[in-house]
Each structure stands twice: as structure tokens, then as C-alpha cells.
């Protein structure tokens, strides 16, 4: 192999290597796009986690409100007024008030709790057939 042919061979290989390799600008752009994508994915995961936690607390509040409403419904002699209590970080209040219809009462169950330094509230409204004096 002559010197001239060796130089030509090396130049061909260098050109082939230059086409295969990435430039510094391409690498920087790729890393920037990857970084932005990772930040977006972690942001979405954080949002999903917060929504899941809120859904869990809201479900517990609904179950507690339904349980308090069931307690009023199965009570032998419910009385008009307000009852309050606490359960596992939740505060609940049951209000039983009369309506314009004689044997019907309105029941309002309110459940409140703290979530991320904010007060959250769930309210359940229902009607309850009251026992009349003649029915006893």
C-alpha cells in the first residue's frame, strides 16, 4: 500500500466517522429535551398523587356522612337539633330540622376535614319520615 492510498483511506474513514457521530449541539438539545420530559412526567405524577389522596379523603367523608345519616334513620326516637362529633381527623355535624310538611324532617350531615392547610367540606341532605304521635 502506498502512502497516497493510505492517506486517502484515512480520509474516507474520517468522513465516515464524522457522519456517524453526533455533534455537541445535538447532544445538548437531546439532553435538554430529555430533562424537560422528565420534569413534565414528575409533575404529572405529583398531580395524580394529590388527586388520589383527595379522592381517598373524600370517599372517607362520604362514608362517614352516610353512616351518620343511617344512624339517624335507624334511631327509635330522633329529636330535632344538632349533634356533633369527631372521627379519625374528620368532624361531623348532623342537623335535624322540621319542614312545612308535618311528618317530614330535613337531615343535613356536614363532614369537614383539613387537607393541605385548607378546610374541605362534604354535605349530605336528605328527608326523613318522622313518627307521629298517633302512630305510637
Q: Which residues of the chain fall below pLDDT 70?
A: 1, 3, 5-19, 132-136
Predicted local distance difference test score (pLDDT) of residue 15: 56
Closest CA to 104 of 74, 126, 136, 75: 126
**What is the DSSP pairing of strand 104-115 with strand 81-87?**
unpaired
User: Domains of the chain by range and CATH?
Assistant: 3-129 (3.30.1300.30)
Amino acid at each position: 500500500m502506498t502512502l497516497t492510498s493510505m492517506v486517502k483511506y484515512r480520509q474516507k474513514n474520517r468522513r465516515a466517522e464524522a457522519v456517524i457521530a453526533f455533534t455537541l449541539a445535538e447532544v445538548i438539545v437531546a439532553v435538554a429535551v430529555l430533562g424537560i420530559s422528565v420534569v413534565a412526567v414528575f409533575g404529572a405524577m405529583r398531580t395524580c398523587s394529590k388527586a388520589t389522596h383527595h379522592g381517598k379523603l373524600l370517599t372517607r367523608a362520604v362514608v362517614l356522612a352516610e353512616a351518620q345519616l343511617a344512624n339517624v334513620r335507624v334511631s327509635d326516637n330522633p329529636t330535632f337539633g344538632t349533634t356533633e362529633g369527631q372521627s379519625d381527623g374528620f368532624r361531623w355535624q348532623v342537623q335535624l330540622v322540621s319542614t312545612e310538611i308535618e311528618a317530614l324532617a330535613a337531615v343535613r350531615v356536614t363532614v369537614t376535614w383539613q387537607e393541605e392547610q385548607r378546610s374541605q367540606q362534604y354535605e349530605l341532605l336528605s328527608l326523613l319520615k318522622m313518627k307521629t304521635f298517633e302512630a305510637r
